[in-house]
Amino acid sequence: MASTAERDAMRRALAIAERGPRGVNPQVGAVLLSPDGEVLAEGWHRGAGTPHAEVDALSRLAPGAARGATAVVTLEPCNHTGRTGPCSEALIAAGVARVVYAVDDPGARSSGGGSRLREAGVDVESGLLSGEGHELLDSWLAVQRLGRPHVTVKWAQSLDGRAAASDGTSKWITGSTARADVHRRRSLADVIVVGTGTVLADDPALTARAEDGSLRDHQPVPVVLGARAVPDDAALHGHPHRFLQFSGDLVAVLDDLRLRGAHRVFVEGGPTVAASFLREGLADELLVYIAPVLLGGDMLAVRDIGVDTIAHARRLTVASVLPLGDDLLVVATPHGETAPGAPAAADAEQEGDA
């Protein structure tokens, strides 16, 4: 049973973990306690190729000073060699007597640190403040589970499922409250994706803005799908981040984005791009903003997704329906098994490998 000192140390480890960068590697914090519960040292992971949190904390002590200590860590100590050595072995070599961690490492190669420590006679307790630990690592854990970034596909539509009027005009189908919600959700993403058709037709800035029009602190990296050139005077060139452009296989695109450290991908346009992610089974969440207007015509919000009969319909689970001014937001996720075409979860790069 974890002590009060260990619980306090875990809260501290969770707080300092956030000092590290969010990307390919998880944010991890560690606190070393003496046998009587006093803090000896603390550390966190500062990015790929740098010492892991446990080793960072150990490095702050004189040789032998950690003997008999307790290591409190937000993530199970790794048990493999990447750019750095196994944390499990470093803790054993330092003479640590007890290890307490919040979240099990899901990696096929990096997990097993808890078992290795137990084999060496170290007392191990897992799951301390696991809820807070999972909250800290939520997006990183999703990448490990999926083998790619988590993908949200968003579109706005009329009540009859149209994205634009017959002349192509689409600003604005939804009202200001719905648009503000979109910008808030953009700011939570690492990457925002559109097709070249949207860039050429609408010239979007793809920034995340506050209600007063100012830029939010966090801006997603813009990604353009398609081979057509982005004009030199496109608004995208004014984005705080340089945009990336890809063409070809979406799975390869997502793998590239994962290796760049992207956890959350926000797909925002247009109907062809949205359909591509849906057709390939690569949409983990749908955000559908529905305005109480009728447009008619053939400007559908989503193009062909490969459904040729009702039996092949992509079934969804509605997670929530939120009123936003006069509009509605429907949040939905794929129902049941992963849709056909979705890649199996890969053994993604773990802390220290990239």
Q: Which amino acid appears at position 51 of this protein?
A: P
Q: According to the 3-state scheme, what is the secondary structure of 339-352?
A: CCCCCCCCCCCCCC
User: What are the pLDDT digits (tens) for 161-215?
Assistant: 999 888 877 878 999 999 999 999 999 999 999 999 999 988 999 999 999 999 9
Q: Is the pLDDT of residue 350 over 70?
A: no
User: For strand 29-33 and strand 39-44, is the pairing parallel, antiparallel, or unpaired?
Assistant: antiparallel
Longest CA pairwise span in the chain (Å): 76
190, 264 Cβ separation under 8 angstroms:
yes
Q: What does the pLDDT average to over 289-310?
A: 93
Which alpha helices (H) appear in the chain, and where do they start and end? 4-17, 53-58, 87-94, 113-119, 130-136, 138-146, 176-186, 196-202, 250-259, 271-279
Token pair for 352: 């220290």
Q: How confident is the model at residue 304 (pLDDT cuts 50, 70, 90)?
A: very high
Q: Is the pLDDT of residue 338 over 50?
A: no
Provide DSSP, 4-64.
HHHHHHHHHHHHHHTTSPPSSSPP-EEEEE-TTS-EEEEEE--STTSPPHHHHHHTTS-TT
Residue with tokens 């690492």: 190
What local confidence, expressed as pLDDT, does residue 336 receive? 59
| Whole-prediction pTM | 0.84
Catalytic residue among 6, 54, 76, 349: 54
Token pair for 332: 């939905």
334 forms bridges with which residues in the sheet? Answer: 316
Q: Cα(73)–Cα(290) distance, rounded to whole angstroms?
A: 44
Residue 80 DSSP label: S
Q: Is the pLDDT of residue 334 over 80?
A: yes
> Is 211 annotated as catalytic?
no
Look at 57-61, 243-247, 311-315 and tell me which has the smallest mean pLDDT: 311-315
269, 277 Cβ separation under 8 angstroms:
no
What strands, in cross-sheet order, belong to the sheet with 98-103?
39-44, 29-33, 70-75, 98-103, 123-126
Going from the N-terminus, what domains does the chain have, and what CATH number goes with each? 4-143 (3.40.140.10), 148-334 (3.40.430.10)
